[in-house]
Amino acid sequence: MIKRELYQDVIFETIHKGATVISKDVKAAFERSIASETSDSAREGLIQTLKSIETSVQKDNPACPDTGWPIFYFKVGNECVLEDGFMGLEESTRDAVRKATKLGYLRATMKHPLTGRGPSDNIGMNIPNFTYQFIPGKNIEISYVAKGGGSECFGGTRHRVLAFADGIPGIEKFIIDCYVASTRAGAVCPPSILGIGIGGTANVAANLAKEAACLRTIGSAHPDPLIHKIEIDLYEALNSLGIGAMGSGGKVSVHGVNIEYAYTHIAGIAVATSTNCMVARRATSRINSDSSVEILDSPNWFEGR
C-alpha cells in the first residue's frame, strides 16, 4: 500500500517542479529555435525567455506567474492500492495545491467565474481538475500541468465539427485559421505547442487536444503514419506564417504539433485545438508499489494507446 504521507509529498513536489523547472524537451525546443530564428528581435525574445527559465530554477521561482488552471492526470495501475483510496488522493492533491499557492509557487488565480472572487488558494468548484487512466500494474504516475490563461483564453482552445466530405483539407484549414487568430499580438504566447484532437464527440476531441498539447513531449511522433504526416505538414506550414515569438514577427511560430484521434461517427468529424504556452509547464512522478519514487521526463500519457 502506498502511504498517504508519501503520495501527498510527491504531489507537492510534482507541482513545485512543474511550476519552477521547465522540461528538457521544452528547453531543447528553445535552443533549436534560437539557432534557426532569423529575426533579431524574435531571437532576443527567445534568448531572454530561456534565460528567465534557467533563472527560475536558481531562484526557486515559478517560470511564469500565470500558473493557470491546476490540472492533474493520474495514470493508475489496476492493482495500485493507496492509503485512503482515491478520495484521499484527491484531498491530498487539494492540500498540496493550497500549500504550493501559500508558498508562492502557484499564483492564486482560480476564482468564481461570475463574481471574480474566491478563497485565493486555487481550490473551488471542479478545481483542481482530475483525469484518470488505468493501466496494468501496481504503480501510480502523477502528472501536473499548469495551464496558463493566455494559451487557454485567447482563442487557443477551439473546436468545430466538419463533414466527412471536408476531410484533411478542412481539418488543416481550420487549424491554420485558428492558429493565426489565436497568436495575433502574442495572445497565446507563441511559439506554442499545438495540440489537436480529431474525432470522438466534441468533448473527447477537446480533451485529446489538451492532452496532446500538455502531455506529449515536443518532437514526439504519433505512431500512425497518416496522423504523423499531418503533424509534420502542419508544423512546416505553421512555421511559414511569420508569427514569431510573442507574435511580433519571426521565423519560428510553433514549437510542436501533436495530434491525437478517436474513432468517430461517420456523420461528422469533431476537430479541437489547444495551445500550450512557449513556457510549457508540466511535471511527472511515478510512485512504485515498493514506495520508491521516480521523476519522469515524459508523462507517457499516450504510451500504449
Partner 1 sequence: MAIHYLNIPLKDQDVESLNIGDLVYISGPFFTCRSLLQHYIFDDAHDLPFSTRKENCLIHVGPIVVKENDKWRLVSFMPTSSIRFEKWGARSVETWGLKMIVGKTTMGEKTTAMMVEKKCVHVSPQSVSPNLWIDHIKIKDVYLFDELGTIEAAWQMEADKLGPFIVDIDTKGKNLFDRLDITIAANKEKAYAMLNIPKDFEYTKLY
Distance, in Å, from the CA atom of 44 to the CA atom of 55, rounded to the nearest integer, reads 16
* Helix, strand, coil share of the chain (percent; to 5): 40, 20, 35
User: Regarding beta strands 158-162 and 269-276, do their DSSP bridges make them parallel or antiparallel, or are they unpaired?
Assistant: antiparallel
Distance, in Å, from the CA atom of 286 to the CA atom of 102, rounded to the nearest integer, reads 25
When asked if residue 124 is in the footprint of partner 1 (CB under 8 A), the reply is no
Collapsing DSSP states into helix, strand and coil, what is residue 98?
A: helix
Residue numbers 72-111 binding partner 1 by CB under 8 A: 103-104, 107-109
Each residue 149-178 as x (binds partner 1 by CB under 8 A) or -, in order, gives: xx--xx------xxx-xx--xx-xx--xx-
When asked if residue 144 is in the footprint of partner 1 (CB under 8 A), the reply is no
For residues 89 and 254, which CB has a smaller minimum distance to partner 1 in the complex?
254
Q: Point out which span in 138-146, 199-207, 235-243, 256-264 binds partner 1 (CB under 8 A).
A: 235-243
When asked if residue 276 is in the footprint of partner 1 (CB under 8 A), the reply is no
Count other C-beta atoms under 10 Å from residue 116's C-beta.
7
Collapsing DSSP states into helix, strand and coil, what is residue 275?
A: strand
When asked if residue 121 is in the footprint of partner 1 (CB under 8 A), the reply is no
Among 5, 24, 65, 203, binds partner 1 (CB under 8 A): 65
Residue 28 has which C-alpha cell? Answer: 531543447
User: Regarding beta strands 192-198 and 254-261, do their DSSP bridges make them parallel or antiparallel, or are they unpaired?
Assistant: parallel
For residues 116 and 304, which CB has a smaller minimum distance to partner 1 in the complex?
116
Element of type H or E holding 5: helix 4-20
Dihedral (CA of 255, 205, 109, 282) sign = negative
When asked if residue 268 is in the footprint of partner 1 (CB under 8 A), the reply is yes
**How far apart are CB 79 and partner 1 at their closest, in Å?**
40
For residues 139 and 275, which CB has a smaller minimum distance to partner 1 in the complex?
275
Contact 177, 159 (CB under 8 A): no
**Interface positions with partner 1 (CB under 8 A):** 41-42, 44-49, 51-53, 55-56, 59, 61-66, 103-104, 107-109, 116-117, 120, 149-150, 153-154, 161-163, 165-166, 169-170, 172-173, 176-177, 180, 184-187, 189, 233-234, 236-238, 240-243, 245-249, 268, 277-279
